[in-house]
A and B are shown apart, each in its own frame.
Chain A
């Protein structure tokens, strides 16, 4: 086998030009496929990043009623939704790959004011002590919540940049008093995501998909929540997981744990994890289906390339009739000859595949430079391409190899 491979390389090297031209079909086909796959993968990673965000890895598990998030403002406290106590939190922490668990309460509220300016459509969030670390927030200005704020029910609030802008419009917010449902809260700081993430938007379609209407959030210690709202409102959970790919499973497990404690009469009320990965996949599928057509077209060029290989191999068999005759005379079996020519075809097309992958990567880089489209090289696709071109070699080398193996040695030796 090794001997055959050595011989194949020798043969290919001694006919450099011809071998290259023979490989060209395979090279073009593989290059096209690699370029397309890289573009698809690049776009997909972009989609995933846009939706999931980068490096955040948090999953929200919220209470839903049917398809909508449970709306406290309209529905009131639902019967049978228990408070999430420390035991349940421990249970959530035991989910594989979960690093942090945090609880929060949330309501959309139109009654948040600074003087006469309203934060219309903003959210008030009652958060526990480790919410900001779980969600990767940092204090931009001022200070964060202290233990005392929780234990002594300090009416203090943190704003995110959106609500800061909406309420204060450039004015310094720290130390100012805002009203939440007529309760005065002192703004002690501004919080924001540690990693600022802006979705990459290439088209109007992307804009509709990714751009959030940021109306701003106001954070207060969850211990002060009943001052403004009610006791025992249903809580939501944030899980921080190890990696983006753990999000779906951890979210599902978390929702299942919480649902096990529910004793609701309304069957439609359930905890549900916001599955960003699932959303990303749906959008990815859309972009993939259009591109998979292109892969089929590129596949045709591989078949054409294979036929080219077969053609040249047939010529090569005729050319090397004497060699084949001699090898048979000195004791080569049919299978030896068959193996030699099949190996040669497979080596030829595998080389073509390797060159094709390299060309494809180059092509993908050029596409990304010229059109600003994101590309990502897929290693499995590259490996599969080379393997596939090898198979093409074997398949299309079959006919010439059989012809060689079945040559009559007398006829073959006679040709001098």
Chain B
């Protein structure tokens, strides 16, 4: 099991009021799975993603990533987990505006202490993997939305993480670019990458093999049969 979340609770302190955001979340993901977490805005899905991405810590609960007890790790070790085990893809791409596509992709490698020459080679290979090998020297402003997101995916994949964590990856894209991104995810999943995708869009979520719904901080898994009936 690559992701194992047990009884995760998360509260936020707002002035003197304690606001529960996540209530008893249980989530298990096997290696190589493609999972979507669906929910409307304010449902707590981004908080859940931050916890899975080791950016945030739950108030109570247990969280194992590749068997490691994440909640016991120090800040420095968490950076290492984010660097080597998780690839982030965001709705708004978050590319460095003054760096070329290649430099953007190479960024995590510099934190991993990879030598300059190898950084370049590996970044180029990652760009080729998302079909942007010939745009390596382009600046983000010279790329379309879909291309920017593919650069972001290349950046997420450059360290060969086990898990790709995507937060509304098609949220800022037109439907055609969105479909291309979904195809790319499909292919990466077939190559063995575990994908956890967060979205509010049912069409996007349907690309995943398993779908979780999160509403008001409570999670439930959707069974495919149910969905089948609905469509019929």
B-binding residues in A (CB < 8 A): 2-3, 10-11, 14, 322-323, 325-334, 336, 409-410, 413, 416
Contact at B90–A331, with CB atoms within 8 Å? no
Of all chain B residues, which has the CB nearest A414? B46
Contact with A along B53-65 (1 / 0, CB 8 A): 1011000000000
The B104-162 residues at the A interface (CB cut-off 8 A) are 107-108, 110-112, 116, 155-156, 159
Partner of B55, one of A323, A327, A333, A410: A410
| Contacts known (A330-B107, A331-B83); A322 close to B94, Cβ less than 8 A | yes
**Residue B176 CB within 8 A of the other chain:** no
Smallest Cβ distance from A19 to chain B, in angstroms? Answer: 14
B84 proximity list for chain A (CB < 8 A) = 331
**Residue B16 CB within 8 A of the other chain:** no
| Contacts known (A323-B96, A334-B75); A329 close to B112, Cβ less than 8 A | no
Contact at B96–A330, with CB atoms within 8 Å? no
**Residue B76 CB within 8 A of the other chain:** yes
Q: How many angstroms between the C-alpha atoms of A333 and B75 in the bound complex?
A: 8
Contact at A327–B53, with CB atoms within 8 Å? no
Contact with A along B63-84 (1 / 0, CB 8 A): 0000000000001100110111
Q: Count residues of chain B with CB under 8 A from any CB of chain A.
A: 28
B94 proximity list for chain A (CB < 8 A) = 322, 325-326, 413
| Contacts known (A323-B96, A410-B56); A332 close to B79, Cβ less than 8 A | yes
Partner of A329, one of B80, B88, B98: B88
**Residue B189 CB within 8 A of the other chain:** no
A416 proximity list for chain B (CB < 8 A) = 92
B99 proximity list for chain A (CB < 8 A) = 10
Q: How many angstroms between the C-alpha atoms of A142 and B50 in the bound complex?
A: 101
Smallest Cβ distance from A52 to chain B, in angstroms? Answer: 54
Of the candidates A10, A326, A328, the one having the most CB atoms from chain B within 10 angstroms of its own CB is A326
A333 proximity list for chain B (CB < 8 A) = 76, 79-80, 111
Partner of B82, one of A10, A330, A334, A413: A330
Q: How many angstroms between the C-alpha atoms of A409 and B46 in the bound complex?
A: 13
| Contacts known (A14-B98, A326-B94); A331 close to B79, Cβ less than 8 A | yes
Of the candidates A10, A331, A409, the one having the most CB atoms from chain B within 10 angstroms of its own CB is A331
The B6-54 residues at the A interface (CB cut-off 8 A) are 50, 53
A326 proximity list for chain B (CB < 8 A) = 88, 90, 94, 96
Contact at A330–B98, with CB atoms within 8 Å? no
Q: How many angstroms between the C-alpha atoms of A328 and B156 in the bound complex?
A: 13
Smallest Cβ distance from B183 to chain A, in angstroms? Answer: 24
Q: How many angstroms between the C-alpha atoms of A3 and B107 in the bound complex?
A: 10
Of all chain A residues, which has the CB nearest B51? A410
Contact at B76–A327, with CB atoms within 8 Å? no
Q: How many angstroms between the C-alpha atoms of A336 and B155 in the bound complex?
A: 18
B159 proximity list for chain A (CB < 8 A) = 331
Smallest Cβ distance from A199 to chain B, in angstroms? Answer: 59
Contact at B98–A327, with CB atoms within 8 Å? no
Partner of A330, one of B50, B92, B108: B108
Contacts A3-B110, A326-B90, A331-B83 known; list 15 others, CB within 8 Å.
A10-B98, A328-B82, A329-B53, A330-B87, A330-B156, A331-B111, A333-B79, A333-B80, A334-B75, A334-B79, A336-B111, A410-B55, A410-B56, A413-B90, A413-B94
